[in-house]
Structure 1
């Protein structure tokens, strides 16, 4: 009986030793960490944009003139239309932050006409924005393939206004400099294609109020009649964007 017990003990010890030897012979490998995509926003890009733009041009009268009846009167119009154009820029990515500079040029279909509240039987007001351009620094933060950003800078616009009655008119056409601010988000759909949406506000200030040139009527004006007024333009837009970024593909990091 004792011999049988000793034999079983020896067999168990031998089996355990063999199993330990097998385990020691096999190399131990640690599972690799998951792959995380690193989206590279740095580089030059070109794109197109389009959407909706609204404006409320306003005529402010300094004194009594040919087209108004009391000092200090104002008349605002409402205008909206589509906006389409192109943009180009460059981004620098620092960790999760993205710094950039962008320029854009757009055609705008904003045009409005309204009957004068001062002389409704004979006078009409007209306003139009024909094109716009901007130069804006951008600051953003990334979250995976998405970039959230704000922007602001200088804006330029070609503006046209006209007040007319049965016999004469006062017309101005000018390129005005103003400012813009906005923000939006972009999604890196592929390593090079980026789509997004943004909203912007534009302010082109007042022009020509109180200047001698604003007292001149261009056509068939009677001697001594004038209109001394300024015009104010601001606008806001909602735009969709598609951009192509030049540069390398998405990189993988561990």
Structure 2
């Protein structure tokens, strides 16, 4: 499978889809508090995507080879859940951390983004994990420009993360995206500088590191989707969709409520 290079018109379509995905997270932010269920968050997101945005929630009934169709419109991964958590009727508790992952299809284009939310107060350790995972994602994003290789991005994320005493999940990675949910290339969040594909203008892919407070080993639950840390340590993830431009990068999944990039040298 080859990497699809997006035209300027393609990028315009992806910019709209990306903004819409981010606006779903903006809308949900006020609702993420103790007592709400992830099922309710899913219903709110579904209604907003379908009725307000006139778009399609990409995860709903998504079924890659070997998987049963995903039953919800967003993914909600709580505490030691790494990714692909399925919304359910369990109320969120004070101190939980939750990743909400949204992918919207608008006019055939996919916009894919996720954020971490701390429910209520949250411990210092949980907040630190979420904050440093956000910075790890940005350490990768700022590397993006023509001529850089994917290994340079992975290396930047890995070295920063491991310096903080955290570990990078290796079984899941970022991915190309466009008219398909998952395209080439795979974007590893670890690696060696100067290796893997060279970036060229028009490439679009996600950067979405999954960072564990403990060891990097994971396992899949019986629902066939939810991934958890083997040692039950907390896990965090952030995700943006990024376009390679002639001179650098453009983040396509930004909206009015997007958190600003971290301050340089914040960690």
Measured against the shorter chain, the TM-score band is under 0.3
Greater share of residues in strand = 1
TM superposition score normalised by structure 1: 0.22
TM superposition score normalised by structure 2: 0.21
Greater Cα radius of gyration, structure 1 or 2: 1
